[in-house]
Structure 1
């Protein structure tokens, strides 16, 4: 399966008046979003609400963060899989990641900042919190459009009220001579929705419905929106989660931010409107954190497979 040009990536303009609920463009956009998520599991949102200064500053902050000593970075721990520090792994030696759980809450950004910089770093804390709030607005817009496209808007408010957000800082170093350039293995996310944003360095690749890999060309106003496994289950298998990977080919480090939405304190299940004779029920109600724990417990070679969600909460046939 060869790579093809990035022109295959669906791009949807959510800037300015185009992001106004109820407008004719809004209706057109949510139809395109649904089509993209059902066919490929991803699209690129053009979104202008992130100021260029914040874009530049937060990516500079990410680079500064990963320059901290290893002994400092490993203090970012969590009892939730893939929420704390990840690095120094033989299979992906070029990658490091760190996270702030519940990042839309200022106190969580303050706790993380104090852990990394005991003497304080107000700039980092403020940038992380402001970035998270803007990404939450984008995520909620996309989710609202998805719910409206399926005619289940009545479930939207309850969904947002139980949503929580993880902000992850991601570093991908350039490979040394004779070192493999695979910086992150092929996988699907276990989130409901993921938003990826990055610096100018290429490396992210997305798998299309026909099995081809397409490379993403970043810009300050471009955000990759991915459907996660939880969204697949919620949609009763209508939405396809996106397989993606990172292949480093340049001579610079790639710094990125991942913003992931999860459901807490509420079971995820398909709305009754999405279950019918043509689409019989595929998933039992499940706990989102339980799904993460299940993935973390299985063989590492199987964790990338979204079919593991079926093993966790699928309806027996």
Structure 2
């Protein structure tokens, strides 16, 4: 892989490209915008770089609903340890993985589904408890690497949400907005399809939560749909993370951010591993659009709602999977 930098205004973008793409000549593939979050510890509020990056984050979420974040806080050793641990995890017996019973809907083990047979996933709400459940005699390398990984991606998530609220002049809601959410790490495995099987690893969908940060191994397969209904293949450079707004963030901003459709398509004969840090509203908390986002030109689109009650609603067969489930649950009638 090769990374090339180029400047647009005051924001440095990093184009994560593969050698294969570089050899394509004039045939340029569609790419997601990429924003540089390297050196994030020195990205201070009020500086020129902070303000320009903040503006670009909002604009990209409005236009695409997602982008690739170049983020180098995760070292090669940590990244290698995490992906090696995923192989070890998914190699465990099915009966062990089935013990990952969720405290909340969709946070536990998902697999053995005839509609998406290539896909298998586990949710991690508490790293230590999860590790003990999978390895009763302990697995400190898995526990420590996953916990460190979560902490670093949490820093990236909070920086981006701070920028979005700042760009929308909603800084006064920052503490409330952060308190509204919690995190779950979902680890995913996609086996290679057999000759008779479809290559579709995961059907096209938009995330229902607040925000998602995805990281995939070199196998790749993630495709994101833009506003023109064109599918863009996400890059697999080690330091590139795909960041997506979820439908709940779209509601919170009264339709101000796009929640993009995305899917996974498998190619080749290797297993794809990926991780997603999901920023999710806490059950019992009310998701409510700030009054500053509503006016005559932008009438209220969604009523305040309890995310936990929505998840229970969404889990019912008649509502899942339904692309307009949130609109059906709490949309304001026209």
Same fold (TM over 0.5): yes
Comparing 19-28 with 180-189, greater Cα deviation is found at 19-28
Q: TM-score, normalising length from structure 2?
A: 0.88
- Give the match for residue 100 of structure 1: 124
Alpha-carbon distance in structure 1 between the residues aligned to 2:138 and 2:288: 42
Instruction: Show the counterpart of 1:172.
Output: 190
SS of 1:8's equivalent in the other structure is: coil
Tell me whether 1:38 sits opposite 2:62 in the alignment: yes
Matched residue of 1:297: which SS? coil
Name the one with the larger helix percent.
1
2:251 corresponds to 1:227: no
Matches within 5 A, 1:186-225: 186-225=204-243
8 Å CA contact retained: 2:31, 2:234: no
- Which structure 1 residue ranges, 4+ long, deviate > 4 Å from structure 2? 4-7
Change (3 A) 1:97 1:6: farther
Q: Partner of 1:150 in structure 2?
A: 168
For 2:28 and 2:260, how far apart are their aligned partners in 1?
A: 17
- Indicate the residue corresponding to 1:74 in structure 2: 98
What is the alpha-carbon distance in structure 1 between the residues aligned to residue 54 and residue 231 of structure 2?
Answer: 25
| Structure 2: distance between partners of 1:162 and 1:232 | 15
User: By how many angstroms is 1:304 displaced?
Assistant: 4.8
| Structure with bigger gyration radius | 2
1:308 corresponding residue in structure 2: 325
CA–CA separation in structure 1 for the residues paired with 2:267 and 2:191: 10
- Whether the 8 Å contact between 1:201 and 1:252 is mirrored in structure 2 is yes
Task: Quote the offset at 1:298 in angstroms.
Answer: 4.2
Are the counterparts in 2 of residues 19 and 26 from structure 1 also a CA contact under 8 Å? Answer: yes
Task: Find the aligned partners of 1:19 and 1:290 in 2 and give their Cα distance.
Answer: 38
**Counterpart secondary structure, 1:83:** coil
Of 285, 303, 314, the residue aligned with 1:284 is 303
- Structure 1, unaligned runs of 5 or more: 102-107
Q: Is the 8 A contact 2:190 2:273 kept in 1?
A: yes
Kept in 2, the 8 Å contact 1:192–1:262? The answer is yes
TM-score, normalised with respect to structure 1: 0.93
Q: Distance in 2 between matches of 1:315 and 1:59?
A: 43
Q: Which residue does 2:152 correspond to in 1?
A: 134
CA contact (8 A) 1:9 1:44 kept: yes
Please provide the CA RMSD for this pair. 1.5
Count of equivalent residues: 306
Q: 1:299: how far off? A: 3.1
> Within the alignment, does 1:15 sit opposite 2:32 as a pair?
no
Task: Report the CA distance shift for 1:140/1:179 in structure 2 as closer, same or farther (over 3 A).
Answer: same
Q: Which has the higher contact order (CA 8 A, sep 6+)?
A: 1
